[in-house]
């Protein structure tokens, strides 16, 4: 009963956040790129998207890494990564358009909470459950607003909005693929079938990730 209540609360957190009153405002303008060639704009935001994951997005790195630990099957990782990608792509675009805006003071602790939740769930589950996809999707919506907050600090050229957003999102995806490859290739492929894999890889890694994320939740909420 307690487990179901916990899941219900965590499922409602992103929904509650998305239902907060939103202040409609335009994105910041990057005047330096207003007259830049399209190729320059694409490269600038593509690189920015990658850098937002690697090396500067430690929280997003841990979230994506956690998605890889639930199962050794590539299909499981693919389903979760797809749900996460679709979700954060939607809220990234909506946030940059000013249609969906949430305060960083709320978004950042929830991002940390999502990392902690997925890490703990990795220790409780041995295979992908339907609700896991829904949870990853809902938390992906929150991560998208986090991406938008970072992107808004740089701003976008007003005449190349979609080019900039798509390029940034493509960069984020490249960064996420690199993280998945760094977990799947050297860890899951050689060791995933070993009998001790969950005991000596999944559990220690998930505990460490959960502790780091728990600290972030506290820091981002109260400090």
Q: What pLDDT, on a 0 to 100 scale, did the predictor assign at position 176?
A: 93
What would the pLDDT profile of 29-45 be if each residue is shown by its tens digit? 887 888 889 999 999 99
3-state SS of the chain?
A: CHHHHHHHHHHHHHHHHHCCCCCCCCCCECHHHCCCCHHHHHHHHHHHHHHHHCCCCHHHHHHHHHHCCCCCCHHHHHHHHHHHHHHHHHHHHHHHCCCCCCCHHHHHHHHHHHHHHHHHHHHHCCCCCHHHHHHHHHHHHHHHHHHHHHHHHHCECHHHHHHHHHHHHHHHHHHHHHHHHHHHHHHHHHHCCCCCHHHHHHHHHHHHHHHHHHHHHHHHHHC
- The predicted pLDDT at position 19 comes to 44
- When mean pLDDT is compared across 71-85, 178-192, 197-211, the lowest value belongs to 71-85
Question: Distance (Å, rounded) from C-alpha 114 to C-alpha 103?
Answer: 17
Instruction: For residues 53 and 56, give the distance between their C-alpha atoms in angstroms, rounded to a whole number.
Output: 6
pLDDT tens-digit profile of 124-179?
988 888 888 999 999 999 999 999 888 888 888 888 889 999 999 999 999 999 99
8 A C-beta contact, residue 96 and residue 148:
yes
pLDDT for 30:
81
Write down the pLDDT at residue 112. 96
Distance CA 145, CA 129 (A): 26
pLDDT at position 28 is 78
pLDDT at residue number 6: 46
């Amino acid at each position: 009963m307690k487990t179901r209540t916990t899941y219900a609360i965590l499922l409602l957190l992103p929904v509650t956040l998305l239902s907060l009153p939103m202040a409609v405002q335009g994105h910041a303008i990057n005047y330096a790129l207003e007259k830049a060639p399209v190729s320059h704009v694409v490269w600038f935001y593509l690189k920015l998207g990658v850098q937002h994951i690697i090396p500067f997005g430690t929280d997003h790195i841990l979230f994506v890494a956690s998605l890889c630990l639930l199962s050794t099957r590539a299909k499981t990782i693919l389903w979760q990564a797809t749900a996460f990608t679709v979700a954060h792509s939607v809220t990234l675009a909506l946030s940059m358009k000013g249609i969906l805006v949430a305060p960083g003071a709320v978004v950042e602790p929830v991002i940390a909470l999502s990392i902690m939740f997925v890490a703990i769930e990795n220790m409780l589950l041995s295979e992908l459950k339907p609700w896991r996809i829904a949870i990853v999707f809902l938390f992906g919506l929150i991560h998208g607003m986090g991406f938008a907050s970072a992107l808004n600090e740089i701003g976008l050229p007003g005449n190349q909005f979609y080019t900039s957003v798509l390029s940034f999102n493509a960069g984020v995806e490249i960064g996420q693929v690199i993280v998945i490859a760094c977990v799947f290739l050297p860890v899951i492929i050689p060791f995933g079938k070993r009998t001790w894999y969950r005991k000596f890889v999944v559990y220690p890694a998930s505990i460490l990730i959960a502790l780091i994320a728990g600290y972030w939740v506290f820091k981002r909420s109260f400090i």
